[in-house]
Amino acid sequence: MNSPVAALAWEIWRKNRFGFLLLFVFLIVCLGFGRVATHFAAEASRLSLMLPAVAPEVIDANTRATDWLSFAGQWSGVLLGLSFLVTLAMFAFAESSRLRGFSGIPSRLFTLPVRTGQLVTVPMASGVCFVALLYLAWSRLVLAPILPPDVRMADSYFLLLLPAALAGFQTLVWTLPGFPRTRVTLLILLIASVAVLSVLPFSELNRWPERKLTLMAIYAALLVVTPCVAWLGVTHVREGQWRDWPALTALMNRLADTFARRRDFSGPAGAQFWIECRRNGRLALWGLAVVISFVLGLNTIAVVLNNGKLSESLGSVYGPILLFLDFIWTPVLGLMVCGDLVSRRLPLTSFQATRPVTVGELVSAKLKAMVAVWLGGWLLAVLSAGVWAVVSDQFDAWFKEFYIERGSGMGLAGIDLVIIGALSLQKLVGLFPLWLTGRVPGLPWSFVILLIVYVGLGDVIGWFVRHPNYRDAALLLIGCAAALKLGVAFLAFRLALKRKLVKRGFVFGSVSIWIVGTALCLWFAFWIAERSNGDEVLRLSLAALLFPLARIALAPLALAMNRHR
């Protein structure tokens, strides 16, 4: 290379060439969806001019155009968000070490004759320019043709928000390599803030033009300040400073020793469950508590800006927390418990692999820890919602959203909350056996697979709901999926028993929990079907597939691959 700048740029490209290819594939796929949707929309418009509005051809064309526009818009939003997350991961310019976990700028670059300003400027400037070009490509090529005529993308707003978010992300990653938990908390807050701020241009906020200019000025200021902060922080890290804060570490250890108490365990399995909760569960709950406090703080600011006017809708106030809890926190929790948060690795450490427990007991401990922390997270969300409702004097209004009338049963908000909880449980074990192998990437790559699978399943289910004529085909697919699920579970349990990875009690307990969980899903689906005009047989058949079994059966085999690699 002729210059350090060219060498750094080449390294970014070389390390992330598959990530760039993935972004290109996302763009091309959504571009194709958009072109098909606009074609059907133009065809429906042409037929509306030639034939009466009640003509069957016009109705079919409008339905097909609406379905494709909804399909293209949904996938474009999901893949655009994933593209932004992948861009953050690529331009973080960090490495994952087996000993130190996720680090900042690679230490080997500090030994090269390269100025610190170049180490900071090249990845930050290239990342800012790339994310701006990426947004323009999505906005002009993909989103503009499929959005309604009265909806326009706020290009100037997002061209400042996304680069500022990327620069802030890089600054946090580079300047806090010795404080992993603090860095994780700040990164979660940053991503949650970007998600909330990205929705503002599409919401009906009072005095939005003035506030938009204020926010854009803040983003522009961040674009100027963050490179200076990053340069200062990387300089201190390169000199060996900011590696640790002895006073803070001593204080946290003293607090932990004060509140800790001796525990007597009934056996190695109980001790392993306590280890899993302590090593992985505490930080997950603290992170969720920070995000809930942050979102409620934003709601408090919105109340002040609206002259003390409170929203009476539960969804408008608490919707962001439920979305974060369902789509981000729950799969992150599953990934954290499958790996080891302390070492920041998916492959098992020596500490975990040498525990005096069998593979089945280790899997059971991880499953119990996942479910316990998951229930704790939902309890934390429900309690915070109740406190906010009481403080804001909205308890009666929110209660009416859960119950239509006294004694008549659950309302729409309650049904939606139960459905979100069931889907959250599915995401908790979304890639459970793959994560246990220790051979798949962590964040954000595993989320690409998880979100694409779930969004794809949602689209398939929605298509069959909108086309009841294909009911028999839907039942056939559900039957094949059920047979495949039970067959995989049977073969996996049989192989695990043959290799003496699990005991019969593990199989019996897993099957018993699956039967009870499936019965509850069927009862809830039947209860919903009685209060609606939907297809009872189709809903009950789909509900029978919700509770996981095959992934639990594959978990001991996957963990054995990780433990005995």
Task: Return the exposure string of 359-373: e unless at least 16 CB atoms fall within 10 Å of the residue's CB, then b.
Answer: bbbbbbbbbbbbeeb
Cα–Cα distance, 342 to 101 (Å, whole number): 9
Does residue 406 register a pLDDT over 50? no
pLDDT of residue 329: 83
Q: How far is CA 133 from the centre of its chain?
A: 24
The average pLDDT across 395-408 equals 55
The average pLDDT across 130-144 equals 91
Secondary structure of 542-559 in HEC code, one letter for each residue: HHCCCCCCHHHHHHHHHH
What global pTM score does this model have? Answer: 0.66
The average pLDDT across 164-173 equals 90
Which residue from 341, 424, 324, 327 is spatially nearest to 384, judged by alpha carbons?
324
Confidence of residue 407 (pLDDT cuts 50, 70, 90): very low
Least reliable range by pLDDT among 158-162, 260-264, 320-324: 260-264
pLDDT of residue 247: 58
The average pLDDT across 514-534 equals 79
pLDDT of residue 405: 43
- pLDDT digits over 320-336, tens only? 777 778 777 888 888 88
In degrees and rounded to multiples of 5, residue 427 shows phi and psi of -65, -25
The average pLDDT across 342-351 equals 72
pLDDT of residue 298: 67
Confidence of residue 4 (pLDDT cuts 50, 70, 90): confident
pLDDT of residue 494: 93
pLDDT of residue 146: 84
Task: Decide: residue 327, CB within 10 A, 0-12 exposed, 13-18 middle, 19+ buried.
Answer: buried
Does residue 396 register a pLDDT over 70? no
Confidence of residue 535 (pLDDT cuts 50, 70, 90): low
The average pLDDT across 199-207 equals 71
pLDDT of residue 134: 93
Does residue 315 register a pLDDT over 60? no
pLDDT of residue 207: 67
Does residue 11 register a pLDDT over 80? yes
CA-CA distances (angstroms) from residue 279 to 381, 412, 476? 22, 38, 44
Does residue 141 register a pLDDT over 70? yes
The average pLDDT across 24-38 equals 89
Least reliable range by pLDDT among 141-155, 188-202, 382-396, 432-446: 382-396
The average pLDDT across 76-94 equals 83
Least reliable range by pLDDT among 93-107, 117-131, 142-156, 286-300: 93-107
Does residue 204 register a pLDDT over 70? no
Contact criterion met (CB below 8 Å) for 269 and 361 = yes
Q: Cα–Cα–Cα angle for 192, 237, 347, nearest 5°?
A: 60
Tokens linked to 38:
């606009």
Angle between helices 471-498 and 536-543 (to 10 degrees): 20
- pLDDT digits over 115-126, tens only? 888 888 888 999
pLDDT of residue 305: 54
Provide the mean pLDDT of the chain. Answer: 79
The average pLDDT across 92-113 equals 68
Higher pLDDT, 188 or 264: 188
- pLDDT digits over 434-491, tens only? 888 887 766 666 777 777 777 777 778 777 777 778 878 888 888 898 899 999 999 9
pLDDT of residue 128: 92
In degrees and rounded to multiples of 5, residue 412 shows phi and psi of -65, -40
pLDDT of residue 491: 94
pLDDT of residue 488: 92
Higher pLDDT, 155 or 300: 155
Task: Give Dmax over CA atoms of the chain in angstroms.
Answer: 81
